[in-house]
């Protein structure tokens, strides 16, 4: 039995990919919770998109999701989140968690109340980041998470092939 040599860079890339995928899963779960809460309270499935959009604008210093996609060269059909740095994903998730918590605690029931709360939370997270010299809309994009995943899977398959010299 041979010990397979896995380059340190590949291991680091896999760890980073795993971390980003985990954060994205949590972010999606949190957004699903918020979406359910908004629907339950407003009766509208359009409200979530409006509220999330307003939150993004607050976090990104007035830039819309569409403007951020253009800025980061994200294809129109792809989610912005697949290209965002880990810290931005966590920032978005924190603001969403705060919105869910405060909506329940404060009994927020209208689209305006929920939207205002989400904007306030995103502005608060933005303020925190800015105090530390981190400007969300100025951060460079990460490599497309789907592309990284395909590349790492291809490398793994290559390493696992019998007779492979890696």
DSSP code of residue 144: P
Task: Say what the alpha-carbon torsion angle 127, 28, 82, 141 is, to the nearest 10 degrees.
Answer: 10
Residues 6+ apart with CB under 8 A from 89: 20, 23, 24, 27, 81
Tokens found for residue 51: 């509220």
Distance of CA 105 to the CA centre of its chain: 25
Residue 45: the pLDDT is: 84
**What local confidence, expressed as pLDDT, does residue 80 receive?**
94
- Predicted pLDDT at 148: 76
Q: What does the pLDDT profile of the chain (166 residues) look like in tens digits?
A: 444 444 454 677 778 878 888 898 999 999 999 999 999 999 998 999 999 999 999 999 999 999 999 999 999 999 999 999 999 999 999 999 999 999 999 999 999 999 999 999 999 999 999 999 999 999 999 988 888 778 777 766 666 666 655 4
Q: What is the pTM for the complete model shown?
A: 0.83
Give residue 144's pLDDT: 87
The confidence score (pLDDT) of residue 6 equals: 44
Contact indicator for 42, 114 with CB cutoff of 8 Å: yes
Query: What is the per-residue pLDDT for 147?
Result: 82
Q: What is the DSSP letter of 46?
A: S
pLDDT of residue 126: 98
For position 8, what pLDDT does the model report?
54
């Amino acid at each position: 039995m041979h010990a397979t040599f896995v380059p340190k860079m590949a291991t680091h890339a896999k760890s980073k990919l795993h971390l980003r995928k985990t954060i994205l899963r949590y972010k999606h779960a949190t957004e699903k919770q918020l979406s359910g809460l908004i629907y339950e309270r407003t009766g509208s499935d359009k409200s979530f998109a409006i509220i999330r959009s307003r939150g993004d604008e607050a976090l990104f210093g007035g830039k819309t999701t569409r403007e951020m996609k253009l800025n980061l060269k994200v294809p129109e059909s792809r989610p912005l989140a697949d290209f965002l740095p880990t810290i931005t994903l966590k920032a978005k998730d924190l603001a969403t968690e705060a919105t869910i918590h405060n909506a329940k605690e404060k009994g927020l029931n209208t689209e305006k109340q929920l939207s205002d709360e989400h904007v306030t939370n995103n502005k608060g997270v933005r303020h925190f980041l800015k105090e530390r010299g981190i400007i969300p809309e100025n951060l460079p994009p990460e490599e497309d998470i789907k592309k990284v995943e395909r590349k790492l899977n291809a490398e793994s398959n290559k390493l696992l092939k019998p007779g492979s010299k890696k």
